[in-house]
Chains A and B, each alone.
Chain A
Amino acid sequence: MSLVSQQLSYGTRLKNVSFTVPEGQLVGIIGANGAGKTTLLHTLTGQLAPSAGSVHFAGVDISQLEPLQRRQLFGFLPQNPSAHAEVSVAHFLQSGLVNLPLKVSASEELARVVKLLQLENYLARPFTQLSGGEQRRVQLARALLGDQPWLVCDEPTASLDLHYQLHVMQLLKSLAAQGKTITVALHDLSLAARFCDQLVLLRHGALLAADQPAAVLTDANLAQAFGIKARWLCTEQGVALLPSLLDDQD
């Protein structure tokens, strides 16, 4: 089930963005602050109505779907969510099952996401008393409930420690390998280069490049989109990026 964005625009914040995400791929949306990553995710998922262009998932026009149908199509992790009520993690996740048709029982589904994010010891604790990174894991678990064909995450690794950054990226990679289409906005270019099958690079709301990481993270693109130059560290585990400012003498 592929995702196709055609000439997608949202006012001046997003301009004619076209790309295709094949089924079962982990795709990273990258770009500097204010480049339009979050706007793109919201427009892709129909939360913002595009001023022009269209989005199709598995051939279905997203804009034609009712809220309930969209709910069954994708799981969404917003950028900076916060909980209001002081409820337990268990109640938080339980409430996240709302409007989801499940193929398995509710308790099995909860156990599945709890295991994926290693939350077994957190269930009785009040959500608001967890640290930022722990809350992030709970929220990602919430977004995974229902096992929809498409997963959309805005900065899934934000405020996570190094261990869980890798854990989450590996989890997303394995979910993609199982056939899920996954779109994530990412700040960390090393994680993006190492784990994503494809990158979509935005600059001032316009598409600069959409291709495999090596083809997107070129010197010219990095200079243009981020104002940096980079050296690459390549090991058996993967690649990492060592950035420096364009005018640095090193």
Chain B
Amino acid sequence: MKRWIWVILLPTLALAMLLHVMIGAAGWGISVLGEQAAMIIYELRLPRMLLALLNGIALGLAGAVLQIVFRNPLAEPGITGVASGSALAVVVVLYSGLALPTLWALPAIGMLGGLLSLIALWLIAGGNTTGFRLILAGVAVASLAGALVALVLNLAPNPFAYLEWSLWLLGSVANRGWEQVYLMLPSLFIAAALFAWQRSFINAHIFDAATLATLGFRQRASMWWLLLGVTLLISASVVTAGVIGFIGLLAPHAVRLLGEQRPLPLVVMSGLCGGLLVVLIDALVKVIPTTVELQLGVVAAFLGAPWLIYLLAKQRLQ
């Protein structure tokens, strides 16, 4: 048991959440807010912090599960094409200017896009769920969806729409409210329930594929239940905060660096670690003085890309 990781992770997370709420446009701390303190914290800072937290948890969980079931330490949500598919569906709806009946329509459409790209992934991979081929199929789906998103942006009706969609694609939790927080919750709960249900299958990935095949699992079914959970998480994240890259890669690796390799604790801790990362990065976004506020996804990419290069270099050395 790596109990000490919990002892470090949980208080750090609590501290980061508090820190995040204390920082804002009006300045540092609660007292500068004056009479409107309660309103500002409840309506602006709290939902933004919670949205950052939930997005981080979703991406950390998704990344850990993908790395474990694909047996590939470089797998991350973007690599399945699900994030791009989800983004494409949302952009198309915005472009078409369809009047949406409810607030829930957009996330539902985002998830539909995510699920469609999952089906495309299945078809391109030829039903082969193991390792390399699925990842190549994911890259293909992501490229196609990315190209279509670029096309829609290219055809944007006016510069304002173009700017708005582009900024949204960069990934951010700024200027969101409680609605987005509520939108995250069902996906998180369903995905967590799916992962909990398949926990012994996740854990059995300490064994190689040949051994795993004889341990009594309906492998294909289990694999797709897990991928469905991952899709729900990624789509919900894309719909509420745009595309935030690298968190799904960084979080599981940070947990591994702390010495936790067992699949189940790795998944849970990656969720918390992802939450911690996104809350900290968003706090950073709030304090870095720039004329235009930085987008969360941009800062995450600046931290994540060097990390990916480091991992690849380390692999080459081995």
Using a CB–CB distance below 8 Å, which chain B residues touch chain A?
A: 71, 200, 203-208, 210-211, 213-219, 261-263, 266
Contact = CB atoms under 8 A, between A and B. Distances in A.
B213 to A, nearest CB: 6
Interface stretch (A11-19, A76-84, A177-185, A197-205): A76-84
A68 B262 CA distance: 24
Interface string A76-101: 10111111111100011001101110
Given A67-B218, A68-B216, A91-B262, A83 B206 contact: yes
Interface in A107-155: 139, 142
Nearest to B216: A71
28 contacts: A47-B214, A66-B218, A67-B216, A67-B218, A68-B216, A70-B214, A71-B214, A72-B216, A76-B211, A76-B214, A78-B208, A78-B210, A78-B211, A80-B210, A82-B208, A84-B205, A84-B208, A85-B205, A85-B206, A85-B263, A85-B266, A91-B262, A92-B206, A95-B203, A95-B206, A99-B215, A139-B211, A142-B211
A45 interface: yes
Given A85-B206, A85-B263, A67 B211 contact: no
B204 A95 contact: yes
Contacts of B207: 81, 83-84, 95-96
Contacts of A79: 210
Nearest to A82: B208
Nearest to A100: B216
A98 B203 contact: yes
B271 to A, nearest CB: 18
Given A85-B261, A85-B262, A98-B203, A70 B208 contact: no
A64 B214 CA distance: 15
A99 B200 contact: yes
Nearest to B73: A84
A139 B215 CA distance: 13
State the 4 A-B residue pairs at the shortest beta-carbon distance, nearest first. Answer: A71-B216, A78-B210, A99-B216, A76-B214
Interface residues of A, number: 29
A86 B260 CA distance: 9
Interface string A46-59: 01000000000000
Given A72-B216, A82-B208, 5 more contacts: A71-B214, A74-B214, A78-B211, A83-B206, A98-B203
A87 B217 contact: no
A96 B121 CA distance: 31
A83 B203 CA distance: 12
A32 B71 CA distance: 32
A87 B205 contact: no
Nearest to A99: B216
B214 A98 contact: no
Contact of A87 (B206, B214, B216, B219): B206
A87 B265 CA distance: 12
